[in-house]
Amino acid sequence: MPAFHFKQGSIPLLVSMPHVGVAIPDEVLSQLNPVAQIKADTDWHLPSLYNMLDEIGASRIHAEYSRYVIDLNRPSDDVNLYPGQDTTGLCPIDTFAKEPLYPACGNPNATEVQRRVEEYWSPYHQQLQNELQRMLDEYGVAVLWDAHSIASEVPRFFAGRLPDLNFGTADQKSCDPALQEALAQCLATSAQASSYSHVFNGRFKGGHITRHYGQPQRQIHAVQLEMSQCVYMNETAPFAYREDLAAQVQPLLRELLQTCVSWAQKNSAYKAPKTGAAS
């Protein structure tokens, strides 16, 4: 099975979903404790939640393999993105609830970690890089939307309940401040937004993908959205998708994504497509 699913769109917007994968290869699964099969830390159902991507013409990429195999939103050298705070690593050794993923003394060694980097991490990031470069060449500007979700309460990482929508722009380093302002304005004026709490650069400022690829000086602008899962699904196993809840937040997601596209098309670097493709 390929490491990711990718579909090219027709606008300067790429939506990445690095934590939606649920596959675990047999050679990895055989190393893991049974708790790994629950896959509780998955960003469940995001391809279904973002069901508007084809209609608006966005490119998209999402992982096929579980973050328990390798975390695509960590740097390949496993440097901690939040120094001084508890996080999970490139090849996680425990769940968000601190349950061990491996038997005692069974954590993956350096050779196994490097194998997973080459087999799963590198292909995803190569495709990300290729698509952003294609957009830059074709449109003069690219917006990367890194889509995530997490249980609304994870005591290991934060106290209390998260806001519904947690935006990260690496403290406005991964995108032009004007793009963040446009998103904030959308949230302030949208009728749908009044039902949801939000924060910019709170507990989640953006992971490796947002920080590494967001290079506004090159006209590549990256935003991460970490959504509380209670907004659109049941947070306990079997983690069922709630179409009734999802239908309420999807119009807002569409507005936010379209805000990104409109902002990009008003950017001074934007080049209209020459082929007549939708823009």
Give the residue extent of every domain in the chain. 4-266
pTM higher than 0.85, yes or no? yes
pLDDT in tens, 21-35: 999 999 999 999 999
Strand order across the beta sheet in which 13-17 lies:
4-7, 59-63, 13-17, 142-150, 220-228, 165-168, 198-200
- pLDDT in the model for residue 183: 98
pLDDT tens digits, residue range 124-147?
999 999 999 999 999 999 999 999
Q: Are 76 and 119 in contact (CB under 8 A)?
A: no
Residue whose C-alpha is closest to residue 73's, from 39, 100, 28, 42: 42
CATH architecture classification, 4-266: 3-Layer(aba) Sandwich (3.40)
- Residue 221's nearest CA partner among 231, 209, 229, 233 is 209
Compute the mean pLDDT over every residue in the chain, rounded to the nearest whole number.
Answer: 96
Looking at residue 275, its pLDDT comes to: 61
As a whole number, mean pLDDT of residues 36-63 equals 98
